[in-house]
Structure 1
């Protein structure tokens, strides 16, 4: 069982418990009236390569990334840097995230927020909107044949789905969903190593008119220059930024 399978298994257990605590009917009510910031336009209209800066405390591969983790302070730094959108980890067990971080970050920033979690149940789509998310991560290898349905539901609610793939074979999963924003994850789920050049390998299989985001393993200016040369729309950067919050210029 790879790490993604372990995360999904735990997530299914977690959502079952959350549904017992807050019914889907109640979650639907909580989602009503929430204002959605335009994540898609933030990526499309960015000057040059759009930067989605990630707010996270830990990861399964690296453990604790930021001991003195403060989502609000981090968001303020990212806001000052003028990044185009934020990604906020809400997964509790492996990334030490929390749903409350989204509203905390939204209160001190003007940027659209991607809820970074592992969606396994329709309940979480309503939940994402209810907790203040503007965009939602849908992982093709997790949802498979459910992906088109979850994509449509997300769009119906006004959310902006980012559909993530890891490999060439997963391109088939996204054809029916026909997503506008596609994330290419550069992480090998078996070894958990990253290679930013993985983006180039997968990019050729995707429609040319899509907004493509390169995710994971982006360490600095050279990687960004390389990605820009490929013609991708943006980059999602987490660990490199979190480790250099006091001097982000080290990354760029």
Structure 2
């Protein structure tokens, strides 16, 4: 059983609990945020989705003392175009409380980074301030992914649709995804290869998708590599979480797109 399988099994348990205890609030005072797709579409520098992440199954504890609000504010001040908050409790030490707290203080597009398998999770994410949710192609059958995608869009949420190979990229296009995340980490072996972005991006070049490269991005050279492949944005967690100076790190990775794209 892969770690993704284990996480999905845990999510099934959580979904059953949510269906018993959760009633949708969707209060009228939810902060209106700019669309991730619209705000990243015409950037001069690569867009950065900066992630608040305490831990991960592959890296263990990264920073479990982090103040999510202070971290998110530092990201915003340093030039992040969006914030991602890990809300999975068991595997990533996150929580919906983290998302809510960040939502109160930051006006940028806000991604609820979790493993979505049911509509109730999308409702919870929206109620806690998210403007973007994550769908992972490897997690569910295509028809179920399509249902969840359409449900999220009907709630005026953007969807970061995560793929790992060419076949999943084709599926993303069939579903109509307009923000496609290419994850350089193999969810079965945890190996990271930036060549994944290069291979998968070639299929998506003629689409109007916003391409986001995820995982394993540490240096300016890494960013240049994925930008040349066609990525217009990057999702960066561990590198920023471990950075002794977020502004310096952000300045290094926010390269001009015009120079990178051939």
User: Normalization by structure 1: what TM-score?
Assistant: 0.93
Seen in structure 2, the aligned counterparts of structure 1 residues 216 and 67 have a Cα distance that, compared at 3 Å, is same
Write out the 4+ residue segments of structure 1 that deviate beyond 6 Å after TM superposition.
none
2:13 aligns with 13
Give, in whole Å, the separation in 2 of the partners of 1:112 and 1:164.
17
- The equivalent position to 2:127 in structure 1, one of 121, 126, 130, is 130
2:182 counterpart SS class: strand
C-alpha deviation, 1:248, in angstroms: 4.6
C-alpha deviation, 1:147, in angstroms: 1.2
2:190 aligns with 192
Give, in whole Å, the separation in 1 of the partners of 2:144 and 2:203.
21
C-alpha deviation, 1:32, in angstroms: 4.5
1:221 aligns with 220
* Contact 1:162-1:182 within 8 A present in 2 as well: yes
1:161 aligns with 159
Point out where structure 2 has 5 or more consecutive residues left out of the alignment: 253-262
Deviations 1:119-177 (A, max 9, x none): 01111111111111000101111122211111111111000011111112223432331
- 1:120 matched to 2:117? The reply is yes
C-alpha deviation, 1:41, in angstroms: 1.6
1:10 counterpart SS class: helix
1:175 counterpart SS class: helix
* Contact 2:74-2:246 within 8 A present in 1 as well: no
Alignment: residue pair count:
247
Which residues in structure 2 correspond to 1:65-80 (within 5 Å)? Answer: 65-80=62-77
* Contact 2:86-2:114 within 8 A present in 1 as well: yes
C-alpha deviation, 1:233, in angstroms: 1.3
2:207 counterpart SS class: coil
1:202 aligns with 200
